[in-house]
Structure 1
Amino acid sequence: MARFHYPLQKVVDLKGSEKSMAEWEFAASLSVLRKEEERMETLQQERRALVRQLEETTQRPTALNRLTELHLYFEIIDQRIREQHEGVRIASEQVTRRQSQLKDKMVDEKVWLNAKDRAYERFRTEWLNKEQSELDEIAIVRSAAVSRG
C-alpha cells in the first residue's frame, strides 16, 4: 500500500501541542486553587483555635488589655479570611477559564484529527479502488490470453 501523507499534518501537530499546553495550564490553575484553599483552611483553623482560647480566657479573670489583644487578633484573622476568600474566588475563576480553554482546544484538535481521518479514508478508498482496477485489468488480460490460446 502506498504511504499516506497528510498535507496539513503540521496543523494537526500544532493543535495537539496547543491542547497539551492547555492541559498544563489547567493543571497549574488547579494547583493554585488547592493552595489557596489550603491557606483558607489554615486561617479557619487558626480562627477556631482563637475562639477556643477566647472561651477559656473569659471563664477566668482576665486583664482588659488581654481581651483587647484577642479582639484585635480576631479582627486581623477575619480580615485575612476575607482576603483569602477573594484569593480562592480568583483562583476558582481561573480554573473555570482554563477548563473552558482546554475544552475548546480539545474540540479544535478533534476537528483536525477527524479531518485527517477522513482524508486517510479517502486515500485508502482510492488506493483500494486503484488496486482493484489493476487486478481487474490483469484478470481481463489473462482471460483474453486463455481464450486466444
Structure 2
Amino acid sequence: MKFNYAFQKIVDLKGNEKAQAEWMLSAALGELQSEEKSLHELLFKREEIGSALQRAAQQSAPISEIRSLQSYVEYLDVCITKKENDIQSAHRNVHHKQERLQETMLDEKVWLKAKEKSSEKFRQESLLREQNELDEMATVRYAVQAR
C-alpha cells in the first residue's frame, strides 16, 4: 500500500509560496544593486564635474561656465540625495522580502514536518499490520500442525 498524504496540495502550495518569496527577494536584491550602481555613477559624475569646476576656476574660465558647472554640481548633489533615499527604501524592501521568505520557509517546514510525521505513522501502522498478518499465519500453521 502506498502512502498518500491528505494535505499534499497544501504542502505543494507552501513550496510554491516559498519559491515565489525567493523570486521576490531576488528581484528586490536586483533592484538594490541597480540603485547602488546608479549612485556610484552619480558620485563618479559628481567627482568629474567637481574636478572640471576646480580646473575652470584655476584657469580663469568665464563666469557663465563656472556658474553652469556649479549648477550642475548642485543638481547632481540633489540627485545623489534622492538616490541615497531610494537605496534606503530598497534596503527596507529587501529586509521585508527576507522576513517574508523566512516566514514562508518556516510555514513550509511545519507542513513538511507534519507530512513526515504522517508518513512515519503510516509506515509504523503498515509494519504493525504486516506483523499481525505474519503472526496470524504462524498461528494458523501451528493450529493446522497441532491437529
Q: TM-score range by the shorter chain?
A: over 0.9
What is the Cα-based RMSD across aligned positions, in Å?
1.0
Aligned equivalents of 1:68, 1:122: Cα separation in 2 = 80
- Counterpart of 1:118? 117
- Counterpart of 1:69? 68
CA shift, 1:112, in A, is: 0.2
Aligned length: 147
Aligned equivalents of 2:137, 2:2: Cα separation in 1 = 23
CA shift, 1:66, in A, is: 1.5
Aligned residue type for 2:36: E
| Aligned sequence identity (%) | 39
- Counterpart of 1:78? 77
Aligned equivalents of 1:40, 1:25: Cα separation in 2 = 23
Q: Does 1:135 align with 2:134?
A: yes
Unaligned runs of 5+ in 1: none
- Counterpart of 1:3? 2
Deviations 1:73-103 (A, max 9, x none): 1100000000101111111111110110011
Unaligned runs of 5+ in 2: none
Q: Secondary structure of the residue that 2:4 maps to in structure 1?
A: coil
Aligned equivalents of 2:80, 2:21: Cα separation in 1 = 31
In the superposition, the TM-score normalised over structure 2's length comes to: 0.96
Larger relative contact order (C-alpha < 8 A, sep ≥ 6)? 1
CA shift, 1:146, in A, is: 2.5
- Counterpart of 1:34? 33
In the superposition, the TM-score normalised over structure 1's length comes to: 0.94
